[in-house]
């Protein structure tokens, strides 16, 4: 009797686990960048780079960094805008980084 109950309970738990959707948000990797400038993705300059690279942001307006390079040394003197970006520079060869938020501290 006990073994039948444990099989039923295990079956119910497995079924529930399979039925629950995976809703854990996936956070994109971030990296600190030194960008030449940070502009809205709807700007002409960002639009030119985005279209040249075949990137479609689906009509969303996010800050993008142009001419970015990674900051790899603590205390690095960035001659541009120090930012933290969602998409690392390696994906687009330093031309553009997505969702760049300036670091002020």
Express each pLDDT in 35-93 by its tens digit.
999 999 999 888 888 888 888 888 888 999 998 888 877 766 788 888 888 866 566 77
Q: For residue 20, is pLDDT > 50?
A: yes
What pLDDT sits at residue 39? 93
Distance CA 84, CA 33 (A): 6
What pLDDT sits at residue 103? 85
Question: What is the average per-residue pLDDT within 26-33?
Answer: 75
Structural domains in the chain (count) = 1
In-domain check, residue 66: yes
* Residue 57 burial (10 A CB sphere; 0-12, 13-18, 19+): middle
Q: For residue 5, is pLDDT > 80?
A: no
Residue 98's domain spans which residues? 31-102
In-domain check, residue 10: no
In-domain check, residue 12: no
Distance CA 62, CA 4 (A): 56
């Amino acid at each position: 009797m006990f073994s039948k109950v444990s099989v039923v309970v295990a079956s119910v738990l497995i079924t529930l686990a399979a039925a629950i959707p995976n809703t854990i948000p996936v956070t994109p990797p971030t990296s600190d960048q030194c960008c030449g400038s940070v502009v809205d993705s709807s700007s002409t300059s960002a639009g030119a780079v985005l279209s040249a690279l075949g990137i479609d942001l689906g009509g969303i307006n996010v800050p993008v960094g142009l001419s970015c390079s990674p900051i790899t040394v603590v205390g690095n003197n960035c001659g541009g805008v120090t930012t933290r970006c969602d998409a690392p520079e390696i994906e687009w060869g330093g031309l553009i980084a997505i969702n760049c938020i300036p670091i002020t501290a």
